[in-house]
Amino acid sequence: MKGLRRKEVTVYGAGMSGLIAAYNLAREGHDVLVRERETTFGGSSMFNPSTHVTPLDLEATSAYIGIDVSPAFHAVESISLYLHDLRIPLPAAGSYAVERSSRLSSLDALLYEKCLGAEVEFEFERDLVRDELGDLPPGTIIACGLNPEAYDLLGIPYITWYGWMSRGEADRSGYAWIWLDECINEYGYISYCNGLYYDLVFSYGREVDAECLQRYREFMRGAEDTDHAEWEYVSGAVPLAAPDNPRLLRDGLIMCGTISGAMDPFMGFGISGALVSGKVAAMAVEDTTAAEEEFARFTRNFASVHRFKHEVWYGLRSRVDLLEELAAVLGPQRSLRLIAEGIRKGRKGSAIPGFSPVSCS
């Protein structure tokens, strides 16, 4: 495919990775049409407006994707890890909060403006549907995020996650927490930016009952003097079913963003992977070999991190009481040092979109 110019390319999904792919293609001279199931850009209205937290190398990522996304990312100054109620302050350097929505202050609005400037065309309320699958030209980009129907359509293995979500207005910023408890196999977390908060307590592959939500709210009230009245039960797909989940191409179609498996399999961070994956998907339209090499580079640690999580971490994770006792014996300073060292090692051994700020070298 190398060397072709002015192709007509369709992108399904006007979320972050689809918009980045669309902009990069339009800038290179292609005619790009983005089809989105919602009434506007900015991701799924089931979850957004939302605020997400991610470790990120902002400068390297912006340079790599060819878009300065730094105005949309806001430094997190403090993160607390809670083992039940035991608080351990985490190193926050290199972590950012970002708004996902169609509001002007969101990452999506920044990317959408870029797309309009590059003459990308949009069709809203336009779903990718089963009947058209066989007719899609090779090189069509699929950037449908965490929508399980899209995974089913394309035969992509996934895990369903379930959780309780609360979102709304808040005057706080620069803070986030992560909460571990046995009633979930993942975590509860909150983040803030642009006058919004987003709070989610979730598990992979199993439902989260109302009792667990009550426990989380008790923790919030006791440890953080915070509570929200409104909670919704939500679910979605993540391509974390197997160590070999990540794949750029399926039957000639280009996978982009979360659906490609470009995410961190340990913490579930998807922002850094979606950013980078938009660029790689655009590259695949022109040169599939180069794009596959790049995709393999960025996901090279997926399998080992996936195995570590299943073979080691879930065992530890099911005994938060023991982790809590250990941390209490060690004391906050030594616990923090151990965690900081773990994060440092994880980042060193990790690639985009791993458990790390991006390394584009």
Ligand X SMILES: Cc1cc2nc3c(=O)[nH]c(=O)nc-3n(C[C@H](O)[C@H](O)[C@H](O)COP(=O)(O)OP(=O)(O)OC[C@H]3O[C@@H](n4cnc5c(N)ncnc54)[C@H](O)[C@@H]3O)c2cc1C
CB 268 within 8 A of CB 359: no
When asked if residue 127 is in the footprint of ligand X (CB under 6 A), the reply is yes
Tell me, residue by residue from 11 to 30, as one string, x for binding to ligand X by CB under 6 A and - for no binding.
Answer: -xxxxxxx------------
**Strands of the sheet with 50-55, listed across from one edge:** 50-55, 95-100, 73-75
Cα separation of 134 and 4, whole Å? 23
Q: Which range touches ligand X (CB under 6 A), out of 143-151, 210-218, 304-312, 320-328?
A: 143-151
Q: Considering only residues 10, 24, 54, 245, which one is a binding residue for ligand X as defined by CB under 6 A?
A: 54
When asked if residue 270 is in the footprint of ligand X (CB under 6 A), the reply is yes
When asked if residue 37 is in the footprint of ligand X (CB under 6 A), the reply is yes
Instruction: CB nearer to ligand X: give 184 or 327.
Output: 184
Instruction: CB nearer to ligand X: give 83 or 141.
Output: 141
Helices (H), 236-287: 271-286
When asked if residue 265 is in the footprint of ligand X (CB under 6 A), the reply is no
When asked if residue 283 is in the footprint of ligand X (CB under 6 A), the reply is no
**Measured from the CB of residue 259, what is the shortest distance to ligand X in angstroms?**
6
Q: Which H or E run includes 24? A: helix 16-27
Main-chain phi, psi angles of 142, to 5 degrees? -110, 115
Q: What is the DSSP letter of 101?
A: S
When asked if residue 196 is in the footprint of ligand X (CB under 6 A), the reply is no
CB 115 within 8 A of CB 102: no
Q: Which range touches ligand X (CB under 6 A), out of 82-90, 139-147, 210-218, 293-301?
A: 139-147
DSSP-based three-state secondary structure for 328:
helix
Give residue for tokens 């706080």: 172
Q: Considering only residues 32, 53, 193, 351, which one is a binding residue for ligand X as defined by CB under 6 A?
A: 53
118: exposed, middle or buried (Cβ count in 10 Å: 0-12, 13-18, 19+): middle
Q: What is the DSSP letter of 301?
A: T
Size of the site for ligand X (CB under 6 A): 35
- Footprint of ligand X on this chain (CB under 6 A)? 12-18, 35-38, 43-44, 47, 52-54, 127-128, 143-147, 149-150, 200, 236, 257-258, 263, 269-271, 274
